[in-house]
Copies of this chain bind each other. A is one copy, B any other.
Amino acid sequence: MSGLEAVRRAAVRLFAERGFAATGIRDIARAAGLNSATLYHYVGSKEDLLTGMLRESQEDLLRAGREAFAGSADPAVQLARMVRAHVATEAVNPLTSRVSDHEVHSLTGPGRAVIVGLRDDYESLFHKALARGARTGQFLITDLPVARYALIEMCNGVADWYRPDGRLSVAELQDRFSELACRMVGGRLVRRAECDPPVAITRLSWEPLTPAGPEQASA
């Protein structure tokens, strides 16, 4: 593990456990086994670190979402593929996902607009699939923005409770969420095989390698 990776992983773990505001740059340096001056050389300020983390996390989610969306012209398959990609991303990168889900408001600099823009682009993929399915009659949607929020929120929750050593594999987790999402919008159920080839999910260089946090519960 490089020094940069050590800093990134220490930062994600501390931000996820204590929150960004409660974490000092010295805490990160100590956890990474560096002094503060060396840490500054690697990553700059604490806000630079959070900006970089959220940027890479949101870019990766957007990349996965675009790949999921582009894999089919059928809105039901698009939705199933996007939900599968989202929950797998959260399951593989739980701490980074939690920081991404909760700390956007901690950004005060110009980086914030970039992150919000990436998130908007991601949400617009869900909007497109839902709108198209509603138009073709494949989905029954009374209120598109509310359906989109509910879908994304239920996927975001995965980072809080999923455990890789629990009773569900990532592929089974994807099956469960795909089914719930398809039902939620009144669509047909999309089988796993229809979503082949699956979107590749990467462990971010930021994500700590061992699960942490006593607040995680098994499914």
Q: Which residues of A approach B to under 8 Å, CB–CB?
A: 17-22, 102, 104-105, 140, 142-143, 145-147, 149-154, 156-157, 160-161, 168, 173, 175-177, 179-180, 183-186, 213-215, 219
Can you name the residue of chain B whose Cβ is closest to the Cβ of A148?
B219
Contact of A146 among B102, B177, B215 (CB under 8 A): B177
**Do the beta carbons of B161 and A173 come within 8 Å of each other?**
no
CB of B147 within 8 A of CB of A214, answer no
**Is there an interface contact between B146 and A157, defined as CB atoms closer than 8 Å?**
no
Number of copies: 2
Contact A145 B219 (CB under 8 A): yes
A48 CB, nearest partner CB in chain B, Å: 19
Q: A104-B215, A184-B183, A213-B105 are in contact. Are A154 and B161 (CB under 8 A)?
A: no
Which B residues are CB-close (under 8 A) to A19?
18-22
- Chain B residues with CB under 8 A of A150: 154, 157, 177, 180
Q: Which of B168, B186, B214, B219 contacts A105 (CB 8 A)?
A: B214
Q: Which of B102, B143, B145, B183 meets A186, CB within 8 Å?
A: B183
Of the candidates B153, B161, B173, B179, the one whose C-beta lies within 8 Å of that of A157 is B153
